[in-house]
Amino acid sequence: MNSKRTLAKAFMEKVAADQEARQWEELMVQLLSKLELSEEERERAAGHYDTLAKQVARKLGVGETDVHIVVQGSMRTQTTVAPRAARSSTSTSS
* Between residues 90 and 58, the one the model is more confident about: 58
Cβ–Cβ under 8 Å, residues 44 and 38: no
Cβ–Cβ under 8 Å, residues 36 and 81: yes
Checking if the pLDDT of 94 tops 50, the result is: no
* Selection from 53, 49, 57 nearest residue 80 by Cα: 49
- pLDDT (tens digit, 9 = 90+) per residue, 35-89? 888 889 889 988 999 999 999 999 999 999 999 988 888 888 877 887 766 555 5
